[in-house]
Structure 1
């Protein structure tokens, strides 16, 4: 099918149906690569813990290096914020993310945090759609 994403398509004659089988186990694809190559270098900040990643790929890693993080613990704060600067509740439900009041309150919060934290922040959003919605606002 077109690009592998559609299970049926309409032609000028009628409908053509197809069935697709997708292997969602990465070990199947990685099996030949893992045993036929001399060296594989996997780098990422999100592959940890390596033992579970190794079991997902189904290939033993004989040599592994898990380095310390480049950011000190005193440089990181992880938490949740339930209310914005004007004390409005921040509930990121689908319905609320469409609401300009929510978007503005979240924008004010990010702005206030940026003013208080030197050299920038890292802010996670649930989707590119929400990111674009907030940027457009």
Structure 2
């Protein structure tokens, strides 16, 4: 469909027990670990198996690590949205860029900025560059960008993590469905 940038068709198995069945069939012992499997007693029923051992360990973080944000208006009170018909609006582009700039000046560590597609991310980053917003962001944080090249993205993500670990902080531009940062 030439009028739709980056068309993607995703097929999804919504029954997790079907998806994991080949793993259980092939291996005698399977260990399932995660930082987010909660409540833990739900998963044997969802995945249709009887665990031999099930353990849950308490975890505490010294500070809040995730702060998702939904934005409907910019600082100039203009509506902002990633709806297809509003994406290219200069006010929307500017307001998202100004928000990112405000965030990089306030957040001491890492920021992940999600986009709806690679082409939208490329267009926004180019617009922010033309507006001078990207240069202002880079005065506060290093910027890393996910690409469709797996090796390049792996290196960018590793460098993003290292920048955060050493206290410099960074921004990682990513397409929402393709990255898990833990």
Task: Give the TM-score normalised by the residue count of structure 2.
Answer: 0.47
Whether 2:36 is the aligned partner of 1:57: answer: no
| Bigger relative CO (Cα 8 Å, ≥ 6 apart) | 2
Which structure has more strand as a fraction of its residues? 2
| 51 and 119 in structure 1: CA distance in 2 versus 1, 3 angstrom threshold | same
Q: Which residue of 2 aligns with 1:83?
A: 73
* RMSD between aligned residues: 3.3
* Cα separation, 1, equivalents of 2:89 and 2:76: 16
Structure 2 unpaired stretches of 5+: 1-10, 128-182
Aligned with 1:95: secondary structure? coil
* Cα separation, 1, equivalents of 2:121 and 2:18: 35
Structure 1 unpaired stretches of 5+: 1-21
Q: Which residue of 1 aligns with 2:167?
A: none
Task: Give the TM-score normalised by the residue count of structure 1.
Answer: 0.58
Aligned with 2:112: secondary structure? coil
Superposition pairs of residues 1-137 of structure 1, within 5 angstroms: 24=13, 25-35=15-25, 37-68=27-58, 71-72=61-62, 74-137=64-127
Aligned with 1:121: secondary structure? strand
